[in-house]
Structure 1
Amino acid sequence: MEQGTPGSGPVAQRAMAGRIPLAVVVVDGSGLVSHWSTGARRLFGYAKEAAVGRPVGDLLPVHGAIPDAAAPYGEYDGLGPDLETSLDGRISYPAAGRARLDEPDGGSARRLDVLWWAYPLVGPGPERLLVLAADAAALTDAHRPEDQGEQGAREDGTQGSAAFRQWGSIAPGFALHTDFPGADRLADRLPEILPSMSVGESSRIVAQVLELGYPVLEFSQHDRVPVTPDWGVARRAERKERRQRAEWAAAHGLPAAEATADDEGDDIEYTAVRERLEFLNEVSGRIGSSLDLSQTIVEVSKAVVPRFTDVAGTYLREQVVAGEGFPDGVPDETTMWHRVALEHTDEPGRWDDVVPVGESMPFPAHTPFFQCMTSGDPVLVPRITEEMGNAIASQFEKRDIRPLINHRSMLVVPLKARNVVLGFMILLRHRERPVFNDMDRVTGAELAARAGLVLDNARMYTYQESVADTLQDSMLPHIQPRMPGGDIATRYLPGTLLGRVGGDWFDSVKLPGSRTALVVGDVMGHGLNSAAMMGQLRTAVQTMAALDLPPEQLLRNLDDLAQRLGEHYLATCLYAVYDPIASELILANAGHIPPVLVRAADGRSELLDLPTGAPIGVGGVPFESVRVRVEPGDRLLMCTDGLVEVRGEDIGVGLATLTESAAHPAASMDDACDTIIRALNTRGGRKDDVALLMARLNGIAAEDIAHWRLETGPGEVRRARELVGAQLRDWSLGALAETAELLVSELVTNVVRHARSERLELRLVRSAVLMCEVEDDDHALPTLMSAGGGDEFGRGLRVVSALAKEWGTSRTNAGKTVWFELPLPRR
């Protein structure tokens, strides 16, 4: 508090510092305690853990100060003489009073004599009432025989005052802070009593307190004494203030207001340490609420401004920001540091242009920053001199930062984890604020140690997330948007639970006969194990699809594989084969949600009724396939259950929404996928990852297909060339005739010379590309060979590989197919 000179006027002419511990309580809109300071614990006897979250009326039964906690704010009765309500029912004026209460435990005969001030708060934050309280007994206790005529120190550190006893009755009240000398100092110290919060929140509350009236003590002689916090004042300054109070009391013939002995200095130091520990505990509770690296950095910066410092700039090593894992070695002059956060109490925008967030720079050896990052210890600069300011400013080209840093107190603290410096914080105090001292150095080091651990946790999570994303991207195929007789669009959404990697996948596999296999699967569970299993199953599906196995047989083999891999391998899978020439789908299901088919004729969408089957890995359950006729323009939609399943909701609701949204017309396949994602993703509650595959089944018209059955004699090679050349000229693709004839002759020659075949078929298919297929009844697959200068054979497939856009071989039930593709000429 501030002690004023007694006199007849309402305003003291001089103000001198005194000490009264304040209890600070913040109440939210529900009437529950959200902040309970150490002073509140000492005054009222309730621990912070027991107080926070309880109805305030149970803890502070001060008549008139705390309305009935059972009712919402604005509906209280008996608000006290000064606490009034506005027309909308909100408390709009402050209250103050004095009350005598029994000790909370009821076991002591002593009664509390409490002075209190209550401020209503408005704004976007949860705070709705700020209560300040003090022990009046610290000022008014009668003289005991053993300390008559002297100033005694109470056991709890509160200083009794004979001067205050002499003045008689004391009552709490309110006054403009500008009524007192040092008004700016009074206003500047108000944030120090508030709980740790952002600069904006603190400024908002302080502005309301100053507008409603500064807390004061009113004495019988109409003297008013402003009440101020005493947290964070340096010990040297405290001693100076005590000497001033003693000199003032002696000049006015009053007993000494405070002792100046060493034990009182020790008490001040103890109080400062205690308050700093409380500050560190509050900071620890505020940081680390998220594993997001960016959010953690912002939390750390806002936790120290303005309570501990006025400016906080945070720098991290390049490897930490890039998510490249734990940085190695001691940093040097070439190490790049990224400015990732800057919090300050200066006017908005003052720092933004000079030291913008996101800038990267090294620090030379002569700077205190380099000393901090290499030694791993805090560096304290009581005042930045002109010389040091010039040295620091030389690093910033075309920007003069000297007005921002010169003559300010600076503390540089390292952010370390496992004895490696991940970054550092530059803390600056305004010139008017006490300089950083050795106790601040210790506090800053402890703060940085806790922040370093939190940042390292966020860094490790970011690194693991990056690894998981890389793994997921490597396992998900990059599917071409065109397939024979159709188009494909896909979407993958990472889950919001247990990391961003999961076991959902989709795929498409090119099959003989211009067919395409479409696959969607979901490994049960999340994380890297599920992703690894997904990679194994996806590879197995591709391998077995290349063998042209029927869908039900492929799932049977996949189930056997999963059981061999381990008993915990479980997955669902939907496998479909699209034949654009026959205009049909063949589908088999292994415990997966059914697909949706949208009919082009009338826009109607339906869930296909398939035998569900059991998940892959269960074993012993048969799988069945179903044939479905499709028409050109129909769309097939396959997805995983993460899109339609929401916790607490029947999956049928999601399937109905999926079916409805799939039927909406869209300009493109991508637009159609986005429409479905928006419709399903707005319901909220989605935790699982999502794989979505949509195929538009355009089919291949009969006039775009040419098919011939050939003999297996040598003369058929020439006939094959003639048939292909004539057909391409009929399709106006004469530019491809020469290349296509050469490649067809190589494939037919390979069958005639090397295959033990009695059947030979040749087919041309014109779609997005020109597809040529040669099929026979020999199961032996041809392979590329190395041919020497004198070798007669071994060059055919090398010619095909060199000239074709793509080529391949596949086994079929009746033999094999060798195919190649040529791009169509641009029109």
Structure 2
Amino acid sequence: MDSGVPPGASRQRPAAAGRIPLAVVVVDGDGLVSHWSTGARRLFGHAKDEAVGQPATDLMPVAGALAAEERGVAHGPYDTDPDLDTALDTGIEGGPELHSRGSYPTAGYATLSERGRDRLDVVWWVYPLVGPGPGRHLVLAADAAQFRRDGADGPDGAESRAGADGRAGDRRISPAFALHTEFPDAEALARRLPDILPNMSPADSGRIVAQVLELGYPVLEFSYHERVPVTPDWGVPKRPAGRGGLPEPLDGGGDGESRRAAPRPELDLEYAAVRERLEFLNEVSGRIGSSLDLARTIREVTSAAVPRFTDFAGTHLRAAVLAGEGFPDGPPDATTVWHRVWVEHNDEPGRWDDTVPIGEAIAFPEHTPFFQCMSTGEPVLIPRLSEEAGDRISGEFEKRDLRPLINHRSMLLVPLKARDVVLGFMVLMRRPDRQPFDDMDRTTGAELAARAGLVLDNARMYTYQENVADTLQDSMLPRVPPHMAGCDIATRYLPGARLGRIGGDWFDAVKLPGSRTALVVGDVMGHGLNSAAMMGQLRTAVRTMAALELPPAQLLRNLDDLAQRLGELYLATCLYAVYDPIRSELQIANAGHIPPVLVRAEDGEAEILDLPTGAPIGVGGVA
């Protein structure tokens, strides 16, 4: 732009000043979305599953760039803003092949004014792509509102901004392109560019990055002729002060008060490091294990390590453990399926979502530190992952590029074990600007994993017992047909409490000759698996004797004799009825059970039937 620069103002800003939340989208040759980042979901409001495979022009205000139309044309609900410059020229030097129609990058500004949602102002950059992959356009977009926080009504604005000399001037912004080498830390800008392309293979991301650097780095031009390189930034949370560092050593004072003399620096540092780790383990022990719910326990274990001990923590569990099945058999191998059940980090929000999504099932390749940890059951420490090591590990995984996430980081893998069997493992990583893991950290991580493994095993056993009890109860409940001769039947089993849902209650309906139906309701005293097993035996006996067409009272006497032969602990109440629709007759016998309720169809009136109670099954000696 030609508007002047305030005297004394810098013509370039550091690269960090241009970090903004970005939406990243890749569009294929048919104009359909093939890649939709988390930032795109936040900006445009469409989830990844809804966007992938849909026409990009229906989701974003870049129809003119994708269709190679003339500038200044409105597309659907998006309107270009005449007050903001739309830079269709690259702004950099390039050969003729870069400036032929459809072969150069474009940038612009648009406003989304759909009914039912707030107005959205968007700045965007679109790059044409060539190569073997499906992608034909790379789209970067950002919310323009964040650039006018000083109170302007529009992006051009009569927005007041103070220059370096204190004088105010008008500001206009335009998206444009520039060589990344024009800015400080050009190499750092080039290295950070792959971060915006998560969940892509190294070949695809490398191809796209090379073309972006050749066509021009995305920048914002301000009215005072200032250009800022744009890098992805999802808002890094500030780490709490004083956490993760060592306490300052005490030293003597000269004010006359009695103070403890400071020990030697190396001893004080060692003492502080040990105390810090013990305090951390004590704090973690108090946070985890507060519930026997497996999912909640996993979240507690993973979240407890961030940010005090690590910057990233991911927990993986064996499929059998997560499904609540029995104890896993044997050590894991390359075919073992692991589920990534939770991820916690203090990096930019959304940075890990596409590459290491929660809920993913994966088998880890043999030649990786992850396989080494889960197969040996021992911690694996890599103080600093070099580019060569990070590239080698990333190369073992298809369709994902781990290099921007793991290179130059410190990595610690700790197994989650119970009874010497690996149930899962945790991946812990620290950013390059933090002290790398050392041997003391490995010991701390192993202790954390040992406590977490015990808690997870308790939760796993509880989940397994719940599944077994549910399966047993479901198998015990009858499958009563809704229609039988002369009557309709409806049933419902509703336990009075969660802990008492497995017990000896049962009901049944048995078809008898002569269009008759036998109805049974019983309750073995007590709860738990023993009561359920007793109930199964008594229910089978009732169905067998019902087929003999015994009168209700006689059937209950025979059931009482059987219960006494089975053991002294067999006590149950039972109500047995035989309904004859031909005679309109109902015969009922009661062995200590609560009486039935008769509800009349014509008026809904209910009454409790007055029946001889009788003694419970298993008492014996009583008529």
Quickly name the TM-score band, shorter chain normalised. Answer: 0.5 to 0.7
Equivalent residue number for residue 303 of structure 1:
304
8 Å contact kept, 1:416–1:423: yes
Moved more, 338-347 or 489-498: 489-498
Secondary structure class of the residue paired with 2:298: helix
* CA displacement at 1:500 relative to structure 2: 4.9
1:492 corresponds in structure 2 to: 493
* Residue in structure 2 matching 1:233, options 231, 241, 245: 245
Q: Is the 8 A contact 1:383 1:408 kept in 2?
A: yes
Deviation at 1:346, TM superposition (A): 3.0
Contact 1:465 1:500 in 2 (8 A): no
Q: 1:412 deviation in Å? A: 0.7
Native 8 Å contact 1:591 1:612 kept in 2: yes
2: CA distance between counterparts of 1:591 and 1:382? 72
C-alpha distance 496-298 of structure 1, shift in aligned 2 (>3 A)? farther
Shift of 1:414: 0.2
Mapped to 2, the partners of 1:499 and 1:277 lie a distance apart of: 41
Match of 1:697 in 2: none
Residue 245 of structure 2 aligns to which amino acid in structure 1?
V
Q: Structure 1 residue 511: deviation in Å? A: 0.8
Q: Is contact 1:411–1:436 with CA below 8 Å preserved after alignment?
A: yes
Is residue 403 of structure 2 the alignment partner of residue 402 of structure 1? yes
Label 1:353 to 1:581 Cα distance change in 2 as closer, same or farther (>3 A): farther
In the TM superposition, what whole-angstrom CA distance separates every residue of 1:695-746 from its partner, at most 9, and x where no partner exists?
xxxxxxxxxxxxxxxxxxxxxxxxxxxxxxxxxxxxxxxxxxxxxxxxxxxx
Equivalence for 1:613: 614
Give the drift of 1:358: 1.6
SS of 1:489's equivalent? coil
Question: Matched residue of 1:330: which SS?
Answer: coil
2:529 aligned partner: 528
Tell me by how many angstroms 1:607 deviates: 2.4
Specify the alignment match of 2:376 in structure 1.
375
Corresponding residue of 1:12: none
2:509 corresponds to 1:458: no
Letter in 2 for 1:330: P
Q: In structure 2, what residue type is equivalent to 1:345?
A: N
Contact 1:472 1:501 (8 Å CA) reproduced:
yes
2:510 maps to what in 1? 509
Amino acid at match of 1:517: A
1:361, distance to aligned residue in structure 2 (A): 0.9
Q: Distance in 2 between matches of 1:608 and 1:305?
A: 64
Corresponding position of 2:283: 282
CA change 1:602–1:275 in 2 (3 A) is same
Distance in structure 2 (CA, Å) of the matches to 1:495 and 1:407 = 57
| Shift in Å, 1:612 | 2.6
One-letter code aligned to 1:346: D
Q: Secondary structure of 2:451's partner?
A: helix
3-state SS, counterpart of residue 453 of structure 1: helix
Rg larger for:
1
- Matches of 1:485 and 1:376 in 2, distance apart? 65
The one-letter code sitting in structure 2 at the alignment partner of 1:564 is: R
Which residue does 2:333 correspond to in 1?
Answer: 332
**Contact 2:413–2:425 (8 Å) recurs in 1:** yes
1:364 Cα deviation after fit: 1.2
Alpha-carbon shift at residue 406 of structure 1 (Å)? 2.4
Write the mapping of 1:642-791 to structure 2, written as runs, cut at 5 A: none
1:361-410 deviation per Cα after TM superposition (whole angstroms, max 9, x unaligned)? 11112111111111111111222222333333345443333323222222
Contact kept? 2:384, 2:410, Cα under 8 Å: yes
Calculate the TM-score normalised by the size of structure 1: 0.44
- What SS is found at the alignment partner of 1:445? helix
Task: Find the residue that maps to 2:492 and give its secondary structure.
Answer: strand
Task: Give 1:413-452 correspondences, 5 Å limit.
Answer: 413-452=414-453
Deviations 1:16-35, CA, capped at 9 Å, x for gaps: xxxxxxxxxxxxxxxxxxxx
Q: Could you report, residue by residue, the CA deviation over 1:81-136 in whole angstroms, capped at 9, with x for unpaired residues? A: xxxxxxxxxxxxxxxxxxxxxxxxxxxxxxxxxxxxxxxxxxxxxxxxxxxxxxxx
**Aligned partners of 1:348 and 1:594: how far apart in 2?**
62
Report the counterpart of residue 188 of structure 1 in structure 2: 239
1:604: which partner in 2?
Answer: 605
What is the deviation of 1:315?
Answer: 0.7
Q: Corresponding residue for 1:538?
A: 539
Q: Is the 8 A contact 2:310 2:428 kept in 1?
A: yes
Q: Is the 8 A contact 2:592 2:613 kept in 1?
A: yes
Do 2:236 and 2:346's aligned partners in 1 also have CA atoms closer than 8 Å?
A: no
Do the aligned residues in 2 keep the contact of 1:591 with 1:613 (CA within 8 Å)? Answer: yes
Are positions 1:266 and 2:248 aligned together?
A: no
For the pair 1:564 / 2:557, whether they are aligned, the reply is: no
Q: CA RMSD in A?
A: 2.9
CA distance in 1, matches of 2:350, 2:585: 65
Contact 1:597–1:608 (CA under 8 A) maintained in structure 2: yes
- After superposition, give the CA deviation of every residue in 1:297-337 in whole Å (9 maximum; x if it has no partner): 12211222222222211111122122221112121111111
Using a 3 Å threshold, how does the CA distance of structure 1 residues 423 and 496 change in structure 2: closer, same or farther? Answer: farther
Tell me the distance in 1 between the aligned counterparts of 2:485 and 2:454.
Answer: 55
**Structure 1 CA distance for aligned equivalents of residues 460 and 306 of structure 2:** 23
Deviations 1:413-434 (Å, cap 9, x if unpaired)? 1000111111101112233332
Superposed displacement of residue 292, structure 1: 2.0
Q: What SS does the aligned partner of 1:492 have?
A: coil
Mapped partners of 1:582, 1:185: distance in 2: 81
CA distance in 1, matches of 2:461, 2:237: 44
1:343 is aligned to 2:355: no
Distance between the aligned counterparts of 1:390 and 1:578, measured in 2?
Answer: 77
Preserved CA contact (<8 Å) 2:236 2:348: no
Aligned mates of 1:412, 1:499 — CA distance in 2: 41
Query: Could you tell me which amino acid in structure 2 is paired with residue 432 of structure 1?
Result: D
CA distance 1:544–1:382, change in 2 (3 Å):
same
Cα shift at 1:185? 13
CA distance in 1, matches of 2:566, 2:275: 59
Deviation track 1:563-619 (CA, whole Å, cap 9, x = no partner) reads 222222222222121112122322222222222222111122222222232322222
Give distance in 1, aligned partners of 2:605 and 2:393: 71
SS of equivalent residue, structure 2 residue 595: coil
1:200-219 to structure 2, matched below 5 A, reads none
Deviation at 1:540, TM superposition (A): 0.7
Partner SS, residue 347 of structure 2: coil
CA contact (8 A) 2:410 2:437 kept: yes
Deviation at 1:439, TM superposition (A): 1.3
The Cα of 1:495 is off from its aligned counterpart by 6.1
Q: Which amino acid aligns with 1:501?
A: I
- The match for 2:583 is 582
3-state SS of the aligned residue for 1:541?
A: helix
CA contact (8 A) 1:594 1:607 kept: yes
Specify the SS of the correspondent of 1:617: coil
Q: Say whether the 8 Å CA contact 1:233–1:434 is kept in structure 2.
A: no
CA distance in 1, matches of 2:348, 2:578: 66
Change in Cα spacing, 1:489 to 1:430, as seen in structure 2 (3 Å) is farther
Distance 1:422 1:435 in 2: 27
Q: Name the CA shift for 1:260/1:410 in 2 (closer, same or farther; >3 Å).
A: farther
Q: Distance in 1 between matches of 2:406 and 2:333?
A: 24
For residues 423 and 621 of structure 1, what CA distance do their matches in structure 2 show?
Answer: 59
Q: Which residue number in structure 1 is paired with residue 78 of structure 2? A: none
**Deviations along 1:645-694, whole A, 9 cap, x unmatched?**
xxxxxxxxxxxxxxxxxxxxxxxxxxxxxxxxxxxxxxxxxxxxxxxxxx
Q: Which residue type is aligned with residue 426 of structure 2?
A: M
- Note if contact 2:408-2:432 (Cα within 8 Å) is conserved in structure 1: yes
Asked if structure 2 preserves the Cα contact closer than 8 Å seen for 1:232 and 1:272, the reply is no
What is the identity, as a one-letter code, of the residue corresponding to 1:425?
Answer: M
Asked if structure 2 preserves the Cα contact closer than 8 Å seen for 1:495 and 1:502, the reply is no
SS in 1 for 2:292: coil
CA distance in 2, matches of 1:396, 1:555: 67
In structure 2, stretches of 5+ residues that fail to align are 1-234, 253-258
Specify the code of the residue in structure 2 equivalent to 1:188. R
Q: Conserved in 2, the CA contact under 8 Å of 1:465 and 1:499?
A: no
Distance 2:398 2:481 in 1: 49
Partner of 1:294: 295
Structure having greater relative contact order (Cα 8 Å, sep ≥ 6) = 2
User: C-alpha separation between the residues in 1 aligned to 2:283 and 2:433?
Assistant: 25
TM-score, L = length of structure 2: 0.57
AA of the residue aligned to 1:322: A
